[in-house]
Amino acid sequence: MAKPKTKSKSKGSTSPGFNKAVQLLLHLTAVLQFNYGVYIFHNLDMPNTVPFGGKFKFLTFLCAIIQALYYTVSLVNDFVGTNELTPKKPPAVRRFKDWLMATLAFPVAINVGVTFWTLYAIDRELVFPKVLDPVFPSWLNHVLHTNIVVFIVLEIFTSYRSYPKRSQGLTGLAIFMGAYLVWIHVVKHYSGVWVYPVLEVLQLPQRILFFVAVIGFTLSLYLLGEFLNNTVWAKEVKLAKRKIN
C-alpha cells in the first residue's frame, strides 16, 4: 500500500527549537524593560551633565529607544504579522522588523555594550563617573548596557530574519552613526563640553582616529550580525535564496 503523503514542516513553521510562547515571552519581557528603562533614564536628573540636547545626546539613550522600538515591533509582528521562516509575501511589519534588527538594533546594541564596559574597565570616569552612582540605579545601568547585548543575542538564536542587501544595510547604519557624530559636535559647539569625558582627554588627531575606529567597529558589527544569522539559520538562508532565484 502506498504511504500517505505528509506535509513538509519547513514551510510556515516557526523557529526550530523554540515555540511561539518562548518568542512571545522574550519580546514581551524586552518591551517592558526597555520601555521602562527609557522612561526612567529620560526623567533622571543627572549631575554635571550639559542640559543642551537632553538625554538624546547619549548614544546609550538612543540605543535604548531603538531596542524598545524593535521589540515593540516584534511583539506586534507576533500577533498581526508572521514568524514564518521564509514567507512568500512578508507583511510590512515583518519587513520593518527584519530591517531594524539587521541595520540598527543588533550593531548599535553590541557597540554600546562592548564600548561602555571596555572603557569602564579601563577608567570608569571616562564614561560613567562615580558622581552618578547616587542617582543612577545599578539595575538601570545593566538594562542599558548589559541586557541590550543579552537580549539581542537571544533574538539572533530565537528568531530568523531576512537580511537586506549588504550595501543597503551598511548605508543605513553609516548614516545613523554619521548623523550621531555630527550631533555630538553640535552639542559641543553650543555647550562647550563634549558629551563623553573620554573626548575631553583626546587631542584632535586622537579624536579623529577614535571616531574612525568607532565607525569601523560599528560597521563590522553589522557584518558580524549577518554572519551569525547566516550560520545559525543556514538552512533557512539557503531556502530563502532558492525562492528568490
Query: Is the CB of residue 50 less than 8 Å from the CB of residue 193?
Result: yes
What angle, rounded to 10 degrees, do the helices at 59-80 and 148-158 form?
30
What pLDDT sits at residue 12? 40
User: Cα(20)–Cα(127) distance, rounded to whole angstroms?
Assistant: 39
Running along the chain, 245 residues long, what does each successive block of 10 average in pLDDT? 45 50 94 98 87 93 98 96 87 97 98 96 92 95 98 94 95 98 96 91 95 96 97 86 67
Q: Are 61 and 3 in contact (CB under 8 A)?
A: no
The SS3 of residue 4 is coil
Exposed, middle or buried: residue 232 (CB in 10 Å: 0-12, 13-18, 19+)? middle
- pLDDT for 245: 60
Residues 6+ apart with CB under 8 A from 158: 15, 18, 22, 23, 26
**Per residue in 206-236, pLDDT tens?**
999 999 999 999 999 999 999 999 999 998 8
Please tell me the predicted confidence (pLDDT) of residue 174: 97
Helix and strand numbers, DSSP H then E, in the chain:
10, 0
Q: Judge whether 62 and 180 are in contact, CB under 8 Å.
A: yes
For residue 84, the model assigns a pLDDT of 86
- Are the C-beta atoms of 94 and 77 separated by less than 8 Å? yes
pTM recorded for the entire structure: 0.90
Task: Supply 174's cell numbers.
Answer: 553609516
| Residue 242 confidence (pLDDT) | 73
Query: Domain residue spans in the chain?
Result: 20-44+51-238
Q: What pLDDT was estimated at residue 10?
A: 42
Q: Can you give the pLDDT at residue 244? A: 63
The pLDDT value given to residue 13: 45
Give Cβ neighbours of residue 35 (< 8 Å, ≥ 6 apart).
68, 72
- Dump the DSSP string for 128-159: S-GGGTTTS-HHHHHIIIIIHHHHHHHHHHH-
pLDDT for position 38 = 98
List Cβ neighbours of 116 (8 Å cut-off, separation of 6 or more).
60, 127, 128, 145
CA within 13 Å, CB half, 62: 18
Residues recorded for the chain: 245
Instruction: Check residue 16 and give its pLDDT.
Output: 47
